[in-house]
């Protein structure tokens, strides 16, 4: 039995195979509508979520399965003091697979050690968000036709953004990748990511404060919001909050085929008129997230792929 706690739990080949499956689902979703019949997904969300929880639920329903669970800690036995270990032991009696979001880093990992069914980390604190990373990879591959030979710009909150950390760690295994890290000094990428991931693997990177100066060299621009709640001084937030607003004018500096990604939600870091630009891929990411989670559920449950090439069946 396998779990997905960290994006590096899957090899590059396994990720490629999973993305191939997600592409087949994308191209013919009707073929998969009975694949998980009678299977049950438990969504254990200890903090509120819109996109991730609904995406998991839509994925399981699209596969013909069923969903049970809770949308926040307040409506679970956790409010009575029940431990993660006991919750997962109980839920293992009800469901076939679990998607867990928790504000504490490491909670899904702990759950996996007591679970009798596969556990998927749907986000743990500021640590990891592996299914968002798989969604990002699918979007990048469908847009660019590859995951190698890319210059990737990451802009905004690079210090606390778990989606940023997961994407850097995962794409660091691809060939000929270069990162441009665009952020205020207060929100630069943590030193452990720079030293243990980028420098340890000899991956070229550039840290900069200017989005405009970087635009022309990027194949991918990954926008994130500057988070007000992370600032100790509101004056600093007010000074920096509008530092990185992607506008139609700035898009004019970019390559014709550059793709703009965003894990959402956005506040004001992408102007509304950018939505009409064909290079805007962030709502495409939302749809791809359903296909990726369908593929992941199938993979972890060992379900048959009706559209797989003959050698895979």
Binding-site residues for L-aspartate, in ranges, read 80, 162, 225
Burial of 166 (0-12, 13-18, 19+ CB in 10 A): buried
In three-state secondary structure terms, 214 is coil
Q: Is 4 helix (H, G, I), strand (E, B) or coil?
A: strand
Whether 52 is catalytic is: yes
CA distance 245 to 206: 20
Instruction: Say which residues have a Cβ less than 8 Å from residue 61's Cβ, sequence separation at least 6.
Output: 67
The annotation places the binding site at 51-52, 80, 101, 129, 132, 162, 225, 264-265
Catalytic pick among 17, 26, 51, 250: 51
Provide Rg for the chain, Cα atoms. 20
Catalytic residue among 40, 43, 52, 135: 52
Q: How far apart are CA 245 and CA 223, in angstroms?
A: 9
37 catalytic residue (yes or no): no
- Of 3, 129, 141, 143, the active-site residue reads 129
Active site residue 38: no
Task: Count the helix, strand and coil residues of the chain and give each as a percent rounded to the nearest 5.
Answer: 45, 15, 40
φ, ψ for residue 67 (rounded to 5)?
-130, 140
Catalytic residue among 38, 80, 304, 310: 80
Q: Are strands 259-261 and 205-208 parallel, antiparallel or unpaired?
A: unpaired
Count of other CB atoms within 10 angstroms of residue 239: 12
List, as residue ranges, the binding site for carbamoyl phosphate.
51-52, 101, 129, 132, 264-265
Q: Is 143 known to be catalytic?
A: no
Q: Quote the CA–CA distance of 303 and 95 in Å, as a whole number.
A: 15
Paired strand residues for 65: none
Query: Catalytic: which of 3, 101, 159, 293?
Result: 101
Q: Is 293 a catalytic residue?
A: no
Phi/psi at 155 (5° precision)? -130, 130
- The residues that are catalytic are 51-52, 80, 101, 129
């Amino acid at each position: 039995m396998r779990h997905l706690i960290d994006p590096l739990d899957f090899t590059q080949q396994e990720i490629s195979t999973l993305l191939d499956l997600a592409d087949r689902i994308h191209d013919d979703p009707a073929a998969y509508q009975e694949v998980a019949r009678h299977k049950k997904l438990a969504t254990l969300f200890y903090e509120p979520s819109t996109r991730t929880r609904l995406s998991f639920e839509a994925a399981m329903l699209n596969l013909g399965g069923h969903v049970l669970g809770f949308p926040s800690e307040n409506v679970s036995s956790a409010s009575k003091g029940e431990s993660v270990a006991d919750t997962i032991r109980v839920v293992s009696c009800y469901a076939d697979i679990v998607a867990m979001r928790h504000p504490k880093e490491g909670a899904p990992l702990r759950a996996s050690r007591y679970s009798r069914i596969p556990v998927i980390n749907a986000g743990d604190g500021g640590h990891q968000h592996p299914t968002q990373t798989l969604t990002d990879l699918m979007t990048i591959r469908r847009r660019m036709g590859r995951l190698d030979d890319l210059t990737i710009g990451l802009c905004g909150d690079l210090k606390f953004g778990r989606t940023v950390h997961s994407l850097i760690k995962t794409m660091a295994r691809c060939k000929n990748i270069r990162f441009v890290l665009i952020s205020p000094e207060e929100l630069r990428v943590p030193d452990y990511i720079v030293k243990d991931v980028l420098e340890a693997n000899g991956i070229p990177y550039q840290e900069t404060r200017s989005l405009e100066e970087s635009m022309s060299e990027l194949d991918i621009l990954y926008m994130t919001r500057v988070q007000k709640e992370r600032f100790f001084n509101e004056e600093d937030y007010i000074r920096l909050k509008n530092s990185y607003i992607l506008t139609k004018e700035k898009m004019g500096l970019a390559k014709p085929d550059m793709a703009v990604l965003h894990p959402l939600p956005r506040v004001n870091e992408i102007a509304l008129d950018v939505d009409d630009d064909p290079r805007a891929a962030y709502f495409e990411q939302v749809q791809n997230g359903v296909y990726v989670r369908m593929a992941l559920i199938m993979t972890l449950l060992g379900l048959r792929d009706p559209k797989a090439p003959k050698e895979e069946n």
